[in-house]
Every structure is written in C-alpha cells, then in structure tokens.
Amino acid sequence: MSEDLQVVAFCCQHCAYAAADLAGGLRLQYPPSVRVVMLPCTGKIDALLVLQAFESGADGVMVAG
Amino acid sequence: MSLTDTLPLRHKPAAALVVGGGIGGMRAALDLADAGLKVYLVEQTPCLGGRVAQLGFMFPQHDCVLCRGTADHGYGCTRPSISPAYIQHNQHPNIQILTNTRVVDAAGEAGDFTVSLRREPRYVDIQRCTNCGICAEVCPVTLPDAYQLGMTMRKAAYKTAARATPDAYSIDKGPYCDDCVKCEQACPTSAIHLDEQPRLESVEVGAIILALGYQIYDAAELEELGYGRYPNVLQALHYERLASRSGPTEGAVIRPSDNRQPRSIAWLQCIGSRDQKNAFCSSICCMYATKEAILAKQRLKDVQCSVFIMDERAFNKEYSAYFTKARDTHGIQYNRCRVSAVSEDPSTHDLILRYTEANGKIHEERFDMVVLATGLQPPESAGQLAEMLGIGLNKHGFCETDKFAPLQTTRPGVFVCGAFSSPKEIAETIIDASGAAAEVMRLLNDRLNTYPTSREWPFLSDTSGFAPERDVSSEPPRVGVFACTCGETLNEHLNYPTLVQQASQFPGVETAEILDFACFPEALGHIQEHVQSDRLNRLVIAACSNRTHESLFQRMMRQIGLNPYLLELVNLREQCSRVHEGQSGLANRKALEMVRLAVGRVQLAQPVYKKKHRCRPSALVIGGGLAGMTAGLAIADSGYDVHLVERSERLGGNLLDLYYVVEGVNPQRLLRDLVNRVRAHQRIEVHTRTEVVNHTGHLGYFITGLRTKHNGTGENFSVEHGVTIVATGAQEARQHPYLKAPGVITQHELEEKIIHQPEEIAALKDVVMIQCVRPENTPEYCSRVCCTNALKNAARLKLFNPSCRVTVLFKNIVTYGFREEYYTEARQLGVMFVRYTDAEPPQVYFDHNYDRLKVRVRDLSLDRWLDLQADLIPISTSIIPSVGSAELARILRVPLSSEGFFEEAQMKLRPMDFMREGIFLAGMAHYPKFSEEAISHALAAAARAVTVLSQRDSLYLGGVVAQVDPAKCVGCLTCTRTCPFGIPQVIHEEGRIGVGGLGGAAFIDSALCQGCGTCTGECPANAIQLIHYTDEQMMMRAIGGLGTWKIPVISEQ
C-alpha cells in the first residue's frame, strides 16, 4: 500500500530544490514516494496546481521554498 | 617618429587580480568580470566562501547563508544573492578561480603588474571530479575537520563543505598522508593525480584587490577566561558551527563536556577588542552574539541567555529593533559589565562568573556554557603580504587607508576591501568589494569591455561563434534520452538497461542511450552526433542536478544549434539514486517516472529568447552631495556620461557644513576637490536647482523628467539614461522641544560655533552633551555617526579650554572600529561620560534660583540623581532621511525602510542595489554614514552601474517572464498587488482590451519581469502564463503528469 503513495513536493529552485540536492550530496535517505517538482519561486504555486495534484491522486502535496 | 613609436608595443593587461575568495573577493571579481575585465580570483584554501561559508545564519534576518552567500542563486529569484556565476559549469567566462594559491610577488606599477603565484597541488582534477566521495571512503587517514573547528573528523581526501565551490574533493597531502594511493586507485574518473607538483605561475594584471578578510582573536591568550582549559567555554565560531544545520551536531547546541543541552548560556563581549592590546572595536560581535542568543532562545527550551556587554553597538538599519526584540520579546538579559574571570566547578563543568553590577555590587552566577564573543584580528598573512606588496599597515596591523580614499592602499593600483582594512560585517564588505571594483574600473577605463560577455542565455557566456539556431517549429518532437551513470556510480541502485529500454518506448522518443559521463567532452560530442544523425530536436538528459549541470547542457544545446530550452534534465543522482538506497524497486520506478515526465514536458517545450536592448551609455545621479559626486565621478572616469541632479543651488550636500573630522583630515579640501573635478569633467552635466518629476523605463533605458527652477519659474526637460543612482542623503533632525531653550543647540551647530566663534567656545566652563535625542513620533534607531561627532567636538572644547567640564550623557557609546581610540582619547582628556537609560532620560530645565540652565540625570553607578550645570547643551538628534525621500521613492517605485530611508534589495548581500534593476543606492540615502562609508557606498553603486553601462549594445532582458493574455484580463489588479517587484500595470492602450471590452488590461514589461511567476499563481482569471512554466507544462494533464504512479514497481533483480 505505502509503495503507491505519492507526495508531490513543489520546491523553489533557489532554496528547497537546492536543499533536496544537498540531501543527495549527503546521502540522506527518504522514501521514494516523494517526487520533487522544481519551480522558479514558490510564488508560482497556484491553488489549482495543488488541487490538480490531489485530483490526479496525490496523497500529499508539499510546498517548500 | 615619436619616442613611443620606437618602443615595442605591448598590450596593457585588461585584467585584475583579486586576492581572497570570501564574499568580498567574490563580489569584487563578479563586478570586474561583468565590466569586461579578466579576473584572477586567488584563494589559498581549496574552496571559495571564506568565513561566511561557516556561518549558519546572518543577523538580523536569520537567513541561511549557505545558499545565499557562497555560490548559487539565479537571476529572477525574488531573493537573488551574489550570483549564479560561481557554479562550476556556469562560471563567469571572465573569472578564473585559482584555489590553493598564494601571491608570492607583484612587480610593476598601477595599470601594469606582473604577479607571481604559487599554486599548491590539489591532487584532484576539478573538471573530472564527480563528487562521488569514494576517495574519502577509502582514505585511511582521519583528521580534525577545520571547517567544523575540530569538532568532527574528516579524511585526508575530503571536501571542505557539502556544498563547495569549486564543487570537488581535494587531497590534503600533509605529513599524515602515507601515500597509500588508495584514493588514486579508487577514483572512478581518474581525477586524482598524487604526483602533482606545486608550480609557479605569473599573471599580468592592471590592478590588485586585496580581500584577505580577518582572523579570529585567539581567546586562549586571555587565560583567565579558561578557553582551552574548561570544555564548556567556547569561542563564538564554535557556537556558530553548533547552531548551524550544516554543523557537527546538525544544529543542536550541546555542552562539549557532557553533550547535554545547556540551560543557561553567557556571552562575554569584547574578547580581544576594546582592551589595552586591541584598542579597537571589532564592530560585529554585539550583533552576532545577539543573533546567537536569539537562536538559542528559539531552539533550546527554557534556556536562560545573558550577554555581558559594555555598549550595545547596533549601528545599522533595523539593528536597534533587533536588539530591542532580543531583550523584550526573547527575554535575553543584557548585563553592562566586563567579566574579568571565569572559573569552573570541576564536578559539573559548570562555569562561574563573578561580575560587578551597574550599582557596583559584586555578583556571582553559574552558567552551563560560556561563549566568548571573540573579536577580529588582521588576517594572518597580512604582515608578509604587506611587505611583499609594499603596502602600509596601520598600527593595529590592518591595511592602511586614507579617510577619503578608503579603498586605496598606500601602493597605487592596489586596492583593499572588507575586514582587511577595518573590522566590518558582511554588508559593508560587499559595499567595499564593489567599491574597490569601481576603483579598478576607473584605473583601467581604457580596457573595460575587452572581454565582453552577455546574458543572452542563462549561462553567462560569449556565444559568438555558435552555430545558427535550427528552426524546429515545424518538426514533430523527436526526443533523445541520455541516461548518465555518473561513472557507474548511479547504476549501483538503478537499473539502467531497463530504464533506457522502457524510455525508448515512450511516445516521441527516437533514441535512448546509456552514457558513463554525460558531462565530459567525449559524451557531449557523442550526443551532438546523435542529434545530427537522428534529427533530434529535443533532449532529455537523466543525470544530475539542474542547479549544477543544466547550464552545461544548455550550452551544449546551443552549440549544436538547438534552443537551450528544448532540454529537460532529470535529477537521478541527487534526487533518486543517492537518496533511496536499498529500495531499488521503488527507486527504479521513480527514476523511470521522472524520465517519463521529462519526456512529456520536453515535448511541450518551446524555444525561449531574451530580447536584445541597447543600453543608453549614461547614468542619472540624483543628489549632488559627497555620495552623488563620488559616484558620478567614478562613472564618468570609467567612460560614461553622467547627469548629476542637485536640488539646491550648490553641490556638496552635508559636506558643505562639515569642517573637521575626528581623524584630523580636512573635509573642506575634499569638497573643493570634488566640486572642481565634477564641474570640470567633460562627461558630467550638472543640473542644480533641479528635481526629478517622473521616471519611466527599465534597466538600460530609463527616461526621467526633470524640472529646473529659475526665479520662481520652472523649466521641464527629460533625459535618457541606462541606470539611476539615488544619492539624496540625509540630514540632522532640527526639531525637538529642547532646541527651543536658549543654550540648547545641535552638535552640528556646535561644530559651526567652534569654527566661526572660537572665542565664545573657549569661554565655556560647563558643557553637557546629550546623545540619542529623538524627535517625537520618529522611529528609534542608532544614527551611527553622532557618538563620534560628539567626541570630536568634546575634544575640541577640551583643546580650546582644558578646564571646561564636558559631560556626555549617553545610552551607548557607538565608536565602532578604530573610532574606539577617540573614545579612549576623550576619556584621557577628562571628558566625563554618564550613562542614562530610556526609563530615566535626562531632563533639561532652567534653574531660576541660580539663573542657569541645568540637566538632571540619574547616574547609574552612583545610583543617585545629578544636577549638572550647563553653559551650553549640544544635543545629538537623529539623522533623518532628506526631505522628499518618500516622494522620490514613489516616483522611482522603490521602497523605503521602516526608518524612512531607501530600502535596498537585500540588506546583507545587495546593499547598493534596489530590487528594481538598474537603480542603485549610495550614501546616507541608505542610512546614516561616515564620509568614508558614503564614499565606499557611492563607489559600489558606481561599479554596479558600470557593469550595466558596459554591456552597451548587448543587454539581454526577458526570457522566462510572465505574459498576459489581455483578452482574459478582468482588470482586478491582483497581479499589481502580488508582484514582489511592483511591475504589472493595468493600462489602457490600443489593442489592450480586457474581458467584455473592458478598457485596459494588465501589462507586464518583459524587460522588467523577474520571472518568479507569483502573478501567474495568483491571477484569478488565469490570464497570465509564465513562459517555460505554463500550466500545461507544469501539470502535463495529457500524460497523467503528477499524482499517481503511472509505472508499476520495477521488480528487484
């Protein structure tokens, strides 16, 4: 069940996306259900984008920036 | 034939050397590089970043410094920092980074130096290092990690920090390395060469900038404080590392003796500062200790924080408010005393402080941890370097500079910035750095733009010589997928053959292949061949991070003749393979899904172009005071025209009334010199009695309406210019009830009297000065210059009449940096200092019994009220923004700070920029400043201006920007309110008709838009789309983009 979870993480390319990169550099482990989407700025986030992710079946949406 | 014709012609170097790769050196290098000069950036350690790279947070905003200060950040970010230009594959083409390098000699003269460099081996080829870390894994040698101040261990094969520039490992072949060559054998890319030798190189440069930084005072010198003996006595940088997320404890502050969370922490200020041996103030410790204490309060439950402090020196924008917040909101205790000794309870390792309270009582208190706020010392290499370069050092061992030439050393052509010239914080280092760059631009004005660069593409480069771009608009998408194993390191967890096999089945994919090193030249050539043979028009490269490698592949695209935006990078390394170890099935599914999405998205990709603009080669400088004239001259000397606008009849501003300074040099000479040079300069047009009426346009092309007043009538005219500099200054507040009383004057008026009525001054017997007099209804902030001004006047009074009793009533004496010595001097002259508090401010009254003016103040050390007689009461009132600042801010569409001064783009890292591109800030319009600081700030603004002006005909703007579909716009103004840059406007013009024939629709100028996309997210009518991030590109509904896994779990092999 848990392997079908999908968490969509919308990340600002300047900070949160960089943090995700840093996690990779440091080999910090997290579940493969997290899927990172890069944004030019978290200001780009549209409520519709979040709702559409849920509508398409996402179990969680994270906005980080 | 003239003599010069007979000499062999030799090109003078269009290059500069920057010594020191901290933030100051990086900033200076970038400005020089942008002005078209070649820059050699020399750093003695293996990576850039300097001291700032070790800091987790900056006061007063507590931003993480790692991403902002060291390497990355792009254009268009709402919070841009230094530059993206230090990312390895995006490196500025004019900057050559020379790490592990020292300067050993500099021969020649200003404009033409030959500098010898000794380059120590790194033993790792940074072009081939992929950061896999295998060398460190196999290395048997373990050493204390200097980056973490010895609190953790590292290998001899190591990387200074997880994120470093250059982004590569290095081998520390110290005596502990036994040449086992395991690293060399294990390196999958053969990047390690242990037989590398040190080598001498020489470079020819026109100028040198010294950005050496500082070293931290060695607290072990003060044995009585127990540093080095008691485990729980730390120096501040230790604490900084402990509190940093990238520190040894990932941000958990613990006591070294028992790894327990401290319940009480004491900060001891002025360690190695303001004492007999170090007679200067280190300027930054009050603020950083307060930052550390606030962080402790925020993170450690019920911790008690005490700071033992002499004066609160919070002398910059928002710093006073930060202190107040620390005390009132966070409950940090400030004790006004200097702790003379620390002792330890050996059973618990708790620390016992004995100190004298304000009322003279001795008090003893126990703390779990003591942090020593260690001061700044001249950099270790200062003495040797100074001797080698032939530059002077001051008596404290810092670089000698002149008050009115604060960025010049004693050797022409050699400039200085940052803490090497005096203790200073990040923002001032950045100002100095750009300012020093302006000095170099002025010196090498005949060589600017020798190496032109453009920002036509996201990677900074000279794209001349690239193949013409192929028009792919009529071709169906033909996608090539290239999956990189990063030297067989990623396929440990991911099944590459399955990945490419399945990827090749995705619609639109023509070819899918595995590569070992996609970023190496051989692979780039291979991809290029495929593009040609398979007629590919879009590429997906499944490799590593966009942030490190996108620019490299974009450049490859452009070289092949494809638009760089017809590319998708899939971050398999940082965001899949390395973070999902041991979950191969799920990781493989995620990898394939990532590739599937990229294939889908790249098919929606359209070419993106920036628009080429011609930059008007002139600057508008608003304000004809010290900063305005300095900035104007620097720009004009660099070869660009300047319109200098001054509201009053005369140039000079506050400098007109500045007669002497504490350092002894004559400001009136500076004034005459500046005015003469400005008036005589061919490139400067002075407009006095002129004010700005309106201001439109964008970076590179502004049109400003000006109005000159003549005898009651006005003449309007307009000028076109590429950049604008705001240098409107500030003024002493002249309104306060006290000033109505006879005998009460401002410090400035006292200065006038000292100059014009010295006999009156010599007759004074009792003078009481009151500091920090704030006009009603004005915000509280430190005006920075008043303490030093009061001291300068007090010293004059004592000089005229040594028996005159001068008393200074103060809250905090803010004589930071080397100004501390004038405080010491004033005390030696017999000036008395009485501290007062906000709770009990001094009262000025007229004593009718004695027919005299008196001041009543509570003396905290005697714990009683004093009634001081006064012949004269000079008061230091707030320095307030110039009249009309708010109106000018409105015209320029730039913000003001809470104090009413102009607000810069970012307080620490962009102190001379506005958020609106092409407008820069100089001098007291930013915040009260000393003349040397105003000069540096003006030069910094000039440097930034010249980097724009020097782009001449190749200013590229636009690209990934927001676009409005007027037909959908309902004119609701949401975009105008939400844009962080204030760019959208609802305008009514031909063809711009909103929904239902609405008169007008939103307009976003592509030359101004920063591409953050905030408006697109907020627009309720969905009328705005961000290029390259359209709704369809974000969601990819057609292929079931986000949400559920479209690909089944790939079974483990």
Residues in chain A: 65
Residue B123, pLDDT > 60, answer yes
B127 and B116 both lie in a single domain: no
> Please, is B1031 exposed, middle or buried when counting C-beta atoms within 10 Å of its C-beta (0-12, 13-18, 19+)?
middle
CA distance B269 to B355: 13
Stated pTM of the model: 0.93
CATH number at residue B148: 3.30.70
Beta bridge partners of B685: B643
pLDDT for position B56: 78
What's the pLDDT band for B1051 if we cut at 50, 70, 90?
low
| Residue B340 near residue B224, CB atoms below 8 Å | yes
Question: What is the ipTM metric for this complex?
Answer: 0.97
Distance from CA of A11 to the nearest CA of B (A): 12
Instruction: Give the residue with greater pLDDT, B638 vs B741.
Output: B638
A11 neighbourhood in chain B, CB within 8 Å: none
Residue B684 lies in a domain: yes
Task: Determine which of A5, A15, A54 to mutate to test the interface with B (most B C-beta atoms within 10 Å).
Answer: A15
- Positions of chain A with pLDDT under 70: 1
CB atoms within 10 A of CB B841: 16
**Tokens representing B759?**
């006999």
CA–CA distance, B377 with B726 (Å, rounded to integer): 34
Q: Is the pLDDT of residue B804 over 70?
A: yes
Question: Do A21 and B575 lie within an 8 Å CB cutoff?
Answer: yes
Q: How many CA atoms lie within 13 A of B259 on its CB side?
A: 3
Instruction: Tell me the residue type at B738.
Output: Y
Element (H or E) spanning B758, and its range?
A: helix B758-762
Tell me what the pLDDT averaged over chain B comes to: 91
Question: Which residue is it, tokens 């942008």?
Answer: B34
pLDDT value of residue B7: 53
Whether B740 and B873 share a structural domain:
yes
Domain boundary among B353, B376, B399: B376
Candidates B575, B594, B596: best to mutate against A (most CBs of A within 10 A) is B575
Handedness of CA B742, B747, B749, B753 (dihedral sign): positive
Domains in chain A: boundaries: 2-64
Q: Which residues contact B225 (CB under 8 A, 6 or more apart)?
A: B219, B233, B268, B271, B339, B341, B342, B370, B372
Same-domain status, B889 and B795 = no
pLDDT band of residue B6 (cuts 50, 70, 90) is: low
Chain A partners within 8 Å of B1018 (Cβ): 46
The arithmetic mean of pLDDT across residues B381-397, rounded, is: 96
**A1–chain B Cβ distance below 8 A for any pair:** no
Contact B67 A18 (CB under 8 A): yes
Region B170-199 average pLDDT: 94
Which residues from A are below 8 Å from B565, CB to CB?
Answer: none
**Which tokens hold the place of B36?**
């078209």
B67 confidence band (pLDDT: 50, 70, 90): very low
For residue B752, tell me if it sits in a domain.
Answer: yes
Closest Cα in chain B, distance from residue A17 (Å):
9
Average pLDDT over residues B729-758: 93
- The mean per-residue pLDDT over the stretch B760-784 comes to 93
The answer as to whether B143 is a domain residue is yes
Alpha carbon distance B353, B401 (integer Å):
40
Is the pLDDT at B451 greater than 50? The verdict is yes
User: Any idea which of B354-368, B437-451, B702-716, B936-950 has the lowest mean pLDDT?
Assistant: B354-368
Q: How much is the pLDDT for B703?
A: 97
Residue B641 has a pLDDT of 98
Same domain, B303 and B332: yes
**Residue B1: pLDDT band with limits 50, 70, 90:** very low
B484's CB contacts (< 8 A; 6+ apart) are B490, B514, B515, B516, B517, B518, B519, B523, B541, B542, B543, B544, B572
Cβ atoms within 10 Å, residue B67: 21
Name B815's Cβ contacts closer than 8 Å, sequence gap at least 6: B281, B787, B788, B791, B822, B823
Statement: residue B101 has pLDDT above 90: yes
d(CA B149, CA B54): 10
Percent of chain B scoring above 70 in pLDDT:
96
If one counts every other C-beta atom within 10 angstroms of the C-beta of residue B571, the result is: 25
In chain B, % of residues over pLDDT 90: 75
Cβ-contact B129, B489 below 8 angstroms: no
Nearest to B788 by CA among B614, B641, B931: B931
pLDDT grade for B462, boundaries at 50, 70 and 90: low
Does pLDDT of B72 surpass 70? Answer: no
Q: Which of B72, B580, B1042 sits opposite A58 (nearest CB)?
A: B1042
For residue B189, list its beta bridge partners. none
| pLDDT value of residue B8 | 55
Residue B904 pLDDT greater than 60, yes or no: yes
Residue B6 in any domain: the answer is: no
Is the pLDDT at B70 greater than 60? The verdict is no
One domain, residues B299 and B225: yes
In the predicted structure, residue B554 carries a pLDDT above the cut 70: yes
Residue B828, SS3 per DSSP: helix
Chain B residues touching A46 at Cβ < 8 A:
1016-1018, 1031
Residues B541 and B680 in one domain: no
Of B135-144, B224-233, B286-295, B841-850, which range is least confident?
A: B841-850
Say if B66 falls within a structural domain. yes
The one-letter amino acid code at B419 reads A
H helix runs in B188-253, sequence order: 236-243
Q: Which residues contact B841 (CB under 8 A, 6 or more apart)?
A: none
Give the residue numbers spanning the domain of B208.
12-120+198-214+378-463
User: What was the pLDDT predicted at B71?
Assistant: 31
Query: What are the tens digits of pLDDT across the range B608-638?
Result: 999 999 999 999 999 999 999 999 999 999 9
Q: Do B178 and B48 fall within a single domain? A: no
Q: Which of B590, B611, B632 is the last residue of a domain?
A: B611
Taking each helix axis from N to C end, the angle separating B626-637 and B667-680, rounded to the nearest 10 degrees, works out to 40
Q: Does A44 touch chain B (CB under 8 A)?
A: yes
| Residue B547 to residue A13, Cβ atoms within 8 A | yes
Domain ends where: B880, B897, B921?
Answer: B880
Question: How many domains does chain B fold into?
Answer: 7
Q: What is the CATH number of the domain that holds B285?
A: 3.50.50.60
Is residue B1038 within 8 A of residue B584, CB to CB? The reply is: no
Record: contact B1043-A53, CB cut-off 8 A: yes
B632 within 8 A of B512, measured Cβ to Cβ:
no
* pLDDT computed for residue B166 by the predictor: 86
* Domain identity same for B1005 and B887: no
Query: In 10 A of CB B382, how many CB atoms?
Result: 20
Query: What pLDDT is attached to residue B416?
Result: 98
Q: Can you tell me which residue has the tokens 């006073």?
A: B320
Residue B9: the pLDDT is: 58
Residues B448 and B35: beta-carbon distance below 8 Å:
yes
Cβ-based contacts under 8 A for chains A and B: 147
Residue A27, chain B, CB below 8 Å: the answer is: yes
Q: Are residues B665 and B785 in the same domain?
A: no
Identify any residues that bridge with B758 across adjacent strands, giving them in sequence order. none
Query: Considering only CB atoms, which chain A residues are within 8 Å of B575?
Result: 20-21, 24, 36
Q: Which of B56, B52, B109, B61 is nearest to B82 (CA)?
A: B52
Digit-coded pLDDT (tens) for B570-620? 999 999 999 998 888 899 999 999 999 999 999 999 999 999 999 999 999
Q: Residue B915: what pLDDT?
A: 84
> What is the side-by-side order of every strand in the sheet holding B690-698?
B690-698, B701-710, B713-721
Nearest CB neighbour to A36, from listed B575, B585, B978: B575
Q: Is residue B88 pLDDT above 90, yes or no? A: no
Answer whether residue B758 is part of any domain. yes
Mean pLDDT of B313-333: 94
Query: What is the pLDDT confidence band of residue B10, given thresholds at 50, 70 and 90?
Result: low
Between B74, B578, B1042, which is nearest A24 by CB? B578
Asked whether the beta carbons of residue B163 and residue A57 sit closer than 8 angstroms, the reply is no
Q: For A53, which residue in chain B has the nearest alpha carbon?
A: B1043
Q: If pLDDT is split at 50, 70 and 90, which confidence band does B62 have? A: confident
Of the two residues B910 and B291, the one the predictor is more confident about is B291
Is B157 a member of any domain? yes
For residue B587, the chain A residue with the least C-alpha distance is A32
Q: Which stretch of B81-85, B222-226, B432-436, B829-833 has the lowest confidence by average pLDDT?
A: B81-85
Tokens of B850: 């004695």
pLDDT, position B75: 30
Mutation choice for A interface testing from B88, B567, B574 by most A CBs within 10 A: B574
Return d(Cα B115, Cα B5) in angstroms, integer: 27
| B263 and B335 inside one domain | yes
* 8 A C-beta contact, residue B163 and residue A25: yes
The pLDDT value recorded for residue B436 is 98
Within a domain: B1049 = no
Q: Which string of DSSP letters, residue by residue, matches B500-539?
A: HHHHTTSTTEEEEEEES-TTSHHHHHHHHHHHHHTT--EE
Rg of chain A on CA atoms, in Å: 12
User: Which residues partner with B42 through β-bridges?
Assistant: B19, B98
List chain A residues with CB under 8 Å of B1014.
41, 43-44
- State which residue of chain B sits closest to A43, comparing Cα positions: B1014
Q: Which of A11, A42, A48, A56 to mutate to test the interface with B (most CBs of B within 10 A)?
A: A56
Please give, rounded to a whole number of angstroms, the shortest distance from the CA of B121 to a CA of chain A: 25
